[in-house]
Amino acid sequence: MGTVDFVDMDGNVIDTRTDFSLCRCGFSKDMPFCDSSHKAAGFAAEGYISKKEDVKEENGEKA
Ligand code: FES
């Protein structure tokens, strides 16, 4: 764990954070960081299994 400096293309530090997630869905209002907008957008990463029922189905079990 540590801090990360975010820099612009000229190398100027524009933000420093210690706890963050980067947005992968494209819906964040705080790019490049995740603001949880992915939940309302229904975004799920390819290959990500989010529900127990889906895991069961994936394993050939009845959900
Ligand atoms: S991944 Fe885009 S807002 Fe969370």
Q: What is the pLDDT along the chain (63 residues), one digit of tens a residue?
A: 789 999 999 999 999 999 999 999 999 999 989 999 999 999 988 776 666 555 556 567 665
Four-residue CA torsion sign, 46, 47, 53, 59: positive
- 12, two tokens: 């100027």
Select from 22, 33, 36, 48 the residue to mutate for testing ligand 1; criterion: most ligand atoms less than 8 Å from CB. 36
Nearest CA to ligand 1 atom 1: 23
pTM above 0.85, yes or no: no
Ramachandran class of 24: left when φ > 0, alpha when ψ lies in -120 to 50, beta otherwise: alpha
In degrees, rounded to 5, the angle at the alpha carbon of residue 21 between the alpha carbons of residues 40 and 26 is: 45
Residues in the chain: 63
Q: 40 CA to middle of ligand 1, Å?
A: 10
What pLDDT does residue 41 have?
93
